[in-house]
C-alpha cells in the first residue's frame, strides 16, 4: 500500500476526524529508524485515548510512540513535545 493510501486510511477513521484539531496528525513518511515495512507520522498531543485507538484498531500493528521536539511554532505550547508514531499495517489473513 502506498504512503498516501495509508495516510488517507488513518485520517479517515471516525475517532481522528472528530478530534482532528486536538491531535493534528500529520507528516506521514517511511520510518528511517525501524525499516522499510514501517511508516511514521506525528501528532501534536498524546493521550491515553489516542494510544488506545492506535493499539486497538483493525489497521495498525507493532505501534511505537516517542516524543520529539517540534519545530518552532508547531508545538501545543512553548515547552511541549510532539509525538512520532511508528507502525506497520496489519497483514490480511490471506497474505
pLDDT one-digit tens code per residue, 24-35? 899 999 998 898
Whether residue 46 is contained in a domain is answered as: yes
**Where do the DSSP E strands lie in the chain?**
26-30, 39-43, 60-68, 82-89
- Cell readout for 71 is 519545530
C-alpha neighbours within 13 Å on the C-beta side of residue 85: 28
In a domain, 94, yes or no: no
Look up the domain containing 42 and give its range. Answer: 3-89
Rounded Cα distance between 5 and 8, Å, is 5
56, part of any domain: yes
User: Is 90 exceeded by the pLDDT of residue 95?
Assistant: no
Q: Which residue has the higher pLDDT, 2 or 79?
A: 2
pLDDT digits (tens, 9 = 90+) for 49-68: 999 998 888 888 899 998 88
pTM of the model: 0.80
Q: Is residue 67 part of a domain?
A: yes
- The residue whose grid cell reads 478530534 is 19
Lowest mean per-residue pLDDT among 7-11, 18-22, 35-39, 68-72: 68-72
Average pLDDT on 11-24 reads 90
20 within domain boundaries: yes
Is 95 domain-assigned? no
Amino acid at each position: 500500500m502506498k504512503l498516501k493510501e495509508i495516510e488517507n486510511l488513518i485520517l479517515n477513521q471516525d475517532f481522528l476526524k472528530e478530534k482532528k484539531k486536538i491531535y493534528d496528525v500529520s507528516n506521514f513518511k517511511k520510518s528511517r529508524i525501524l525499516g522499510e515495512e514501517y511508516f511514521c507520522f506525528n501528532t501534536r498531543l498524546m493521550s491515553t485515548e489516542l494510544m488506545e485507538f492506535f493499539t486497538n484498531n483493525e489497521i495498525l500493528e507493532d505501534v511505537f510512540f516517542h516524543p520529539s521536539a517540534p519545530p518552532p511554532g508547531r508545538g501545543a505550547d512553548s515547552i511541549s513535545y510532539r509525538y512520532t508514531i511508528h507502525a506497520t499495517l496489519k497483514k490480511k489473513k490471506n497474505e
